[in-house]
C-alpha cells in the first residue's frame, strides 16, 4: 500500500528554521547528498595524443658483411585536444614471437628537438612526424618481429601522457622464383638466327629502392650479368649469343635488395643449366 501525505508551506518554513537553529548550514536550499556509485569528479583537460607508424608493416633487410638487420620508419604524432606539451621521449622495442626483446631504440628530448627544429614542443591540435631507425639481430627463419612504439609527453598543465602503437617489422628476403633450382634455360643457334631468351623473376620487396642480380657460369672469371639498378622484380635477357656445349652447365644466379639506403646480403645461389645448342632452331 502506498501512502501519500501533503506537506504545507508552513511546515517547510518551520523545517528551515529548525535547520538554521541547529547550525546545519541551510541557506535557501537543502544540500544534495552524493549518491553511491556516482562518477568521480572530471579531471582538468589534458593532452590527447595518438601515434601511428608508417610504412606498415615496416620493411627491413639483412645488411651486408654480417651487420645487424636495419629498419627505418616514421612515427606520426597527433595532438587532438588543443592542449600542447613537450615530448619527453619516443621508444621503439622489437620482440620475437615469444615476447623476448630483440632490440630497442629511443629518441630522447635532444634527438626530438633536433628533428623538430630546436624544440620538443608540440602545439595543441597539431601533427608532427619523427623519423626512427633500428638495427637488430634476428633469426633468419623468423621473417618478422613485433614492434611496439611508445611516446611520452608532459603537457602544458603538468600532466604526463603516454600512448603506444603496435606494428610489425618484416624482413625482406627475396625468393628466387624463375629459374628454379636445376632449371634449364634457353640456348641460341650457332647461325645466330635465334639467340637466347632468359627470364628471371623473384618476389617483390615492398619499398625496395633497387635490386641487384648476378648471373654467372662458375668457371667464368666474371658474371655474364651484373645489374644493380633494377627497380622491378624481374629481368629479361634477349641476346643473339649462344652457349657452347662445354659451358652449358654450372650456371647460377643470386640477388640482393636495397632498402632505405642499405643493401642486403645476397640470396643463396640458385643453380641452372642451358639447353643444348640449336635446340629450337628453324631448319630449312
The pLDDT tens digits for 15-70 are 343 334 444 443 444 444 555 666 655 556 899 999 999 999 998 877 665 567 88
pTM: 0.62
pLDDT of residue 10: 42
- The reply to whether 227 and 194 lie within a common domain is yes
Query: What stretches of the chain adopt beta strand conformation (E)?
Result: 49-54, 58-61, 69-79, 85-95, 101-107, 121-122, 127-136, 144-155, 160-171, 176-178, 183-185, 196-202, 210-217, 225-230, 234-239, 251-259, 262-263, 270-274
Q: Which of 171, 194, 228 is the last residue of a domain?
A: 171
Claim to verify: residue 66 and residue 87 sit in the same structural domain: yes
Q: How many domains does the chain have?
A: 2
Same structural domain for residues 181 and 243?
A: yes
Residues 70 and 141 placed together within one structural domain of the fold: yes
Residue 2: inside a domain: no
Residue 264 sits in a domain of what CATH number? 2.60.40.10
Structural domain ending residue among the three candidates 137, 171, 205:
171
Residue 280, domain member (yes or no): no
Residues 257, 180 within the same domain: yes
Last residue of a domain, one of 115, 146, 171: 171
Residue pLDDT, tens place only, 168-218 = 998 888 899 999 999 999 999 998 888 999 999 999 887 788 999 999 999
The answer to whether residue 120 sits within a structural domain is: yes
| Cα gap 33→54, rounded to integer Å | 52
For residue 167, what are the domain limits?
49-171
My answer on whether 125 and 231 are in the same domain is no
Domain identity same for 256 and 222:
yes
Amino acid at each position: 500500500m502506498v501512502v501519500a501525505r501533503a506537506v504545507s508551506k508552513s511546515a517547510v518554513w518551520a523545517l528551515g528554521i529548525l535547520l538554521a537553529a541547529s547550525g546545519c548550514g541551510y541557506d535557501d536550499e537543502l544540500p544534495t547528498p552524493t549518491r553511491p556509485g556516482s562518477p568521480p569528479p572530471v579531471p582538468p583537460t589534458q593532452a590527447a595524443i595518438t601515434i601511428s607508424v608508417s610504412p606498415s608493416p615496416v620493411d627491413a633487410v639483412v645488411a651486408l658483411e654480417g651487420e645487424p638487420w636495419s629498419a627505418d620508419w616514421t612515427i606520426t604524432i597527433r595532438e587532438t585536444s588543443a592542449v600542447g606539451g613537450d615530448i619527453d621521449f619516443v621508444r621503439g622495442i622489437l620482440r620475437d614471437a615469444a615476447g623476448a626483446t630483440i632490440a630497442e631504440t629511443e629518441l630522447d628530448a635532444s634527438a626530438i628537438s633536433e628533428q623538430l627544429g630546436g624544440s620538443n614542443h608540440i602545439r595543441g591540435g597539431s601533427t608532427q612526424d619523427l623519423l626512427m631507425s633500428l638495427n637488430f639481430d634476428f633469426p633468419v627463419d623468423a621473417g618478422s618481429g613485433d614492434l611496439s612504439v611508445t611516446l611520452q609527453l608532459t603537457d602544458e598543465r603538468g600532466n604526463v601522457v603516454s600512448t603506444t602503437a603496435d606494428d610489425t617489422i618484416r624482413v625482406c628476403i627475396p625468393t628466387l622464383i624463375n629459374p628454379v633450382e636445376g632449371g634449364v634455360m634457353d640456348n641460341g643457334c650457332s647461325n645466330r638466327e635465334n639467340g637466347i631468351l632468359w627470364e628471371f623473376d623473384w618476389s617483390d620487396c615492398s619499398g625496395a629502392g633497387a635490386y641487384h642480380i648476378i648471373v654467372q657460369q662458375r668457371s667464368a672469371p666474371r658474371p655474364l650479368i651484373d645489374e644493380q639498378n633494377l627497380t622491378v622484380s624481374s629481368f629479361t635477357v634477349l641476346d643473339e649469343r649462344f652457349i657452347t656445349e662445354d659451358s652449358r652447365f654450372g650456371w647460377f644466379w643470386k640477388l640482393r635488395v636495397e632498402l632505405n639506403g642499405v643493401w642486403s646480403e645476397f640470396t643463396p645461389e640458385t643453380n641452372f643449366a642451358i639447353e643444348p645448342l640449336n635446340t629450337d632452331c628453324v631448319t630449312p
